[in-house]
Amino acid sequence: MARLDLDGKEIAPITICLIGGAGFIGSHLCELLMAHTHHSAIVIDVSSDKITHLLEKSCSWSNRIEFHKINIKNDSRLETLIKSSDLTINLAAICTPADYNTRPLDTIYSNFLDAIPVVKYCTESNKRLIHFSTCEVYGKTIGSFLPADHSLRQDPNFYILKEDVSPCIFGPLEKQRWSYACAKQMIERLIYAEGDEHGLKFTIVRPFNWIGPRMDFIPGIDGPTEGVPRVLACFSNVICGPIM
């Protein structure tokens, strides 16, 4: 059955370049694209472990998906693959909280510097970019920053974040945990500037905490046996059964 746009017109198949398309979110997006659209996917990632079931020649969509094992830090093929696609979706990132403190340089490179060429190639080829960012670009609320005994700390208005007017409050430089949020906001600012000055067409997605199969990581299943991801630690009181 053909998919229709908001005007009721049939959506023509396109080729989508999925950078980080074999990760937690990307693998599920690939599944939906293959199962529910006629689009083709060029998947770029450092591993295909999470999408091996999509790459089997027996799949009905095997002629619509291709995988390229590429580290976008240093591979010249990236430019060609982006410019040969109709749309680029960038999901590549280090987004495990434990890494923000222990690998701050890798976190900054992955979420900011490594993404710069992606933005550049999309601008040069006049291709739309859908960039996956994070809710952490909003920073801390004014209320959470106030001293515990401050009279305004109980005012609910100081715990509301309004995208276009709220000040951006991050932690101090010595708190490496904020390297992720800062890097993500910097790449957002670059994307916005490219759109403003050079006409880049873009969409920015800011996920909050997502939980599901193939996430990085479910202890003992899809990651190390030791340790608990922050998202599970924060929501463990509402998880009633095993993640399937």
Bond before 217 cis per omega within 30 degrees: yes
Spot the catalytic one: 109, 121, 180, 192: 180
pLDDT tens digits along 192-220:
999 999 999 999 999 988 888 887 755 55
The DSSP letter of residue 69 is E
Identify which has the larger pLDDT, 157 or 119. 119
Residue 213 is predicted with a pLDDT of 83
The reported pTM is 0.86
The tokens of 91 are what? 């999901």
Told to judge if 121 belongs to the known catalytic residues of this protein, a careful annotator would answer no
pLDDT tens digits along 83-104:
999 999 999 998 877 788 889 9
Question: What average pLDDT is seen over the chain?
Answer: 87
Identify which has the larger pLDDT, 234 or 200. 200
With contact defined as beta carbons under 8 Å apart, do 64 and 39 qualify? yes
The tokens of 226 are what? 């030791």
pLDDT tens digits along 34-57:
999 999 999 999 999 999 999 999
How far is CA 239 from each of CA 210, 214, 219, 230, rounded to the nearest angstrom?
A: 13, 17, 15, 14
CA 201 to chain centre: 17
